[in-house]
Amino acid sequence: MRFLSQKTSVAYATLLVTSFIILILQIILASYLRAYLKLPFLSVSFAFLGLSSAGLVAYYYFRDLTLKQLLFKVQALLQVFGILLIFYFCYFFQNTIQSQINPLVNLVLQDQIPTDQDVRSFFAAVYKLSFSNGLYFSLCFFVVGLIFSLIYKFFSEEAAKLYFYDLCGATLGCVLGSYLLNVVEISTIPILIALIAFIFALLINLRGEGGRLGVMSSAICALLAGGLLLSNTVSDAFHVRIENEVWSEWNAYSRVTLVKKGFDEKSGEMEYKFMLDNGAGIAHVVKFKPDDPYRLKPFEEFSAATLAFLKGTPDDMLVLCAGAGNDMVESYSYSRGRTDITGIELNPLIVKKARSTEEFHLKEFFERDGVHMIVAEGRTFLEATDRKYSVVLYSWAGSPRNTYLGITANTSQFLYTREAFLRVLNILKDDGYIGIVNGNKLKLLGSFKKSFAALGVDDISAHVVLVAPRDIVEAGIRSNMLAPVDNARLLVKRTPFTAQEVRLIQSNAGKMDYLLVYAPHTDGLDLHSNSLEAAKLIRTVTAARDVRAVLTDLSNRQLADYRPISDDKPFLDNYYHLPSLLSIGFWKDYFAGNSQLAFSHHLLHFYNFAFVLVLILAGALMLGATLLIKRREVRIRRDLPWLYFFSCLGLAFMFVEISFLYQFILYLGNPIYSFSVILAGVLFSLGLGSLASDKLCGSRRLNLRTIAILCAGILVAGYVYIPWVITRTLGMGLAWRILLAFVIILPTGFILGMMFPQGIKLVGRINRNLLPLAWGLNGYLSVIGSALSIYLAPIVGFSGLSLIGAALYVTLVLIPLGMPEEG
């Protein structure tokens, strides 16, 4: 209580606590957006939308306040924030999520292929769900944003220390938020946040700022939140169930749900599948039969595991994206236990539940000799292992939402880049090969071309075999290969396929009613005429000297993106091709209502694009209205450069932050870990820079223009050294990678952290009433930056976003910033 008795200490404590709780809230929102929309970093947009709106409102309505008035408003706003969270989880969450989820998962449960109308309805519901929840969270951030605006305005001379405590609280929130996702039910966390807000409001009221009514209201709210927390912990009262659910749990990776598929007619047993993020991904369950371990025979019907046996029984194999061990059980049966099988699965919840469900007998299977189920991120395992395999099988991976949305934060996409393929080729035995089920094969072949080129092989046409179901080939395999749902199966061998191997593959594939689409040594083989047509396209890609030019030309003609993918642009399922918008043909199809690949992808991106446009227009209108209404108070020559300064800071910093977050998904193996760890590191280093800025700038060693040049310089340096460090240390343990990530971003964050507090201090001396407006514009441009990055990343790459940020910092050197003594 003595700590809260000092004027500035109250401000520091308030910012520390509020930053702590809203960063936990932002991580929860990121988890929801990842689960339902596959775009977790849009949580940044919604957060800054609320925070920046609060800055503009504070500029309009809150002018000169006394300390007592300030603290009264702070405690009241904290209570409102907590009430909003409790209302959300008692009513809003239940009504929005529950009403939308069951319709969304029906197709997944029934293993149905969605029609175009299903896809559009699906995404309309997903966007409605995500944006309605995101906007509600923005309201919560708005309330907290009012607290920030009022405190920064009242204590503008303490901006550097305030910013430090602000960022320290945010750092703690990032760290604790990701931890809580793994240890408690996700619906419990916001109630816990509300409880913290009520308790802190009670502490302020006990100082006498809110009177008896304030003490009573905050105490009652705290008791209510405590009761709800206990109720949800004991009875899981706020858990949202979906149809046929047996079990469900969240962790930092996803929401994992075990559901019943129905009775299998052959066995008469109930079948199960694991569903990730309410249908975003599927992991089928094949039960192990200890009394009949070899009951499954190869080539009776197609499964991903059959790709590993098309040219004989391998001595050993590696299964990536192993899920619940489906392919491992089948491969063990196909080989009659002779193949040594290693499976890699990222999500520990799937493996844990698969092991613990006695009906599946998978615990016994995973403990058999020659069977190794490893919980690890795929790329990290590939970089760390020195073992060589006969077959590396890419099992089913990705998400139905990836197929239609494209730009996602799934870690599995980093297994399909040219860098990943190069590593896989290096861990293959001389006669080994790779089998891939899903993903567009033209994109993959372009990436393989780049990988083989690093090994000195320019023409890979003899290293590739493709097979596809007979009905797909007869319907037109070439057009199928240009579609997002590509039914061709790809084999890529380290050494050229022999004629004998091609004949064996054709024979075994034929047993499953699969036909050769492309292979070397096909003279004398009976090939379908449609396969011959597709083979010309594949031959052009695999033998091209400049494969990127070939696929770029194809992209321009098909109005969709087929270019090779890399770690910097790992968008396997993205077909969004910006030049298509400039094509007359695209717009003819659009207005004619033709359902084609480009139309479907661009239509779904329009949801995000419309969101960005609305934000830009809203920001422009609010700024214009503010300058018009307050024209007597705003001096254009003095104030407009400062408004640009804070707007540019918001936009530039957001490009840098999103660049870091995306680049470190691969490095840390999880988008939520990247979000929490990298954001914590960025915020902590920003705080250190803020704390040091008073001393460095106060001694005249630095000014804002010098700092802006330093910011641009270190971002350009990071463009070079960050990818270099990530590539060479990816195989290290997670703890070391987290430590290295902190070290990598520390100098950048330290320098960037000096700009904002020094700007706040100088503007406070020139025109204190301008501070909330500057805060609001900074936030609005941050919203726009986070949303625009989704479109810019496929064009410039993740690292390229930081270069855009560097260019924006350079512009700050050119604007005429008025200093206090000039006002």
- Render pLDDT for 475-503 as a digit per residue (tens, 0 to 9): 999 888 887 667 899 999 999 999 999 99
Dihedral sign from CA coordinates of 362, 367, 372, 373: positive
Q: What is the pLDDT of residue 510?
A: 96
- Render pLDDT for 645-665 as a digit per residue (tens, 0 to 9): 988 998 998 899 889 988 888
pLDDT band at 1 (very low <50, low <70, confident <90, very high): very low
Residue 418 pLDDT > 80: yes
Q: Which residue has the higher pLDDT, 727 or 790?
A: 727
Pick left, alpha or beta for residue 337 (phi over 0 → left; psi -120 to 50 → alpha; otherwise beta).
left
Q: What is the pLDDT of residue 734?
A: 83
| Six token digits for residue 197 | 């807000």
Interior angle at CA 159, CA 154 and CA 160, nearest 5: 160
Domains present along the chain, CATH in parentheses = 3-236+600-822 (1.20.1250.20), 289-558 (3.40.50.150)
Q: How many beta carbons lie within 10 A of that of residue 302, not counting itself?
A: 17
Task: Return contacts of 207-215, CB within 8 angstroms, 24+ apart.
Answer: 207/1, 207/4, 207/5, 207/10, 207/71, 209/68, 209/71, 209/72, 209/75, 210/72, 210/75, 210/76, 214/72, 214/75, 214/76
Share of the chain above pLDDT 90, in %: 35
Residue 597 pLDDT > 70: no
As a whole number of angstroms, the distance between CA 823 and CA 638 comes to 8
CA distances from 772 to 270, 325, 492 (A): 60, 55, 59
Q: How many beta carbons lie within 10 A of that of residue 785, not counting itself?
A: 27
| Six token digits for residue 60 | 């309009």
- Render pLDDT for 321-368 as a digit per residue (tens, 0 to 9): 999 999 999 999 999 999 999 999 988 889 999 999 999 999 999 999
Q: What is the pLDDT of residue 556?
A: 85
Q: Which of 17-21, 327-331, 398-402, 573-577 has the lowest mean pLDDT?
A: 398-402
Residue 277 pLDDT > 90: no
Q: Which of 139-143, 168-172, 484-488, 536-540 has the lowest mean pLDDT?
A: 484-488
469's enclosing H/E stretch is strand 464-469
As a whole number of angstroms, the distance between CA 179 and CA 676 comes to 9
As a whole number of angstroms, the distance between CA 155 and CA 119 comes to 52
Query: What's the mean pLDDT when you consider all of the chain?
Result: 82
Interior angle at CA 264, CA 261 and CA 269, nearest 5: 90
Q: What is the pLDDT of residue 622?
A: 66
- Render pLDDT for 234-269 as a digit per residue (tens, 0 to 9): 445 445 566 677 887 777 677 788 888 878 777 778
What are the beta bridge partners of residue 389? 428
Residue 401 pLDDT > 50: no
| Six token digits for residue 760 | 């706040």
**Interval 602-609 mean pLDDT:** 58
Q: What is the pLDDT of residue 809?
A: 95
Q: The whole model's pTM is what? A: 0.83
Strands of 225-380 (E only): list them.
Answer: 245-250, 255-263, 270-276, 281-284, 316-320, 340-345, 371-375
Q: What is the pLDDT of residue 77?
A: 93
- Judge contact between 26 and 47, C-beta under 8 A: yes
Q: What is the pLDDT of residue 409?
A: 46
Which one, of 435, 524, 529, 536, lies nearest residue 488 by Cα? 435
The identity of residue 343, as a single letter, is G
Pick left, alpha or beta for residue 395 (phi over 0 → left; psi -120 to 50 → alpha; otherwise beta).
beta
pLDDT band at 107 (very low <50, low <70, confident <90, very high): low
Strands 389-394 and 316-320: parallel
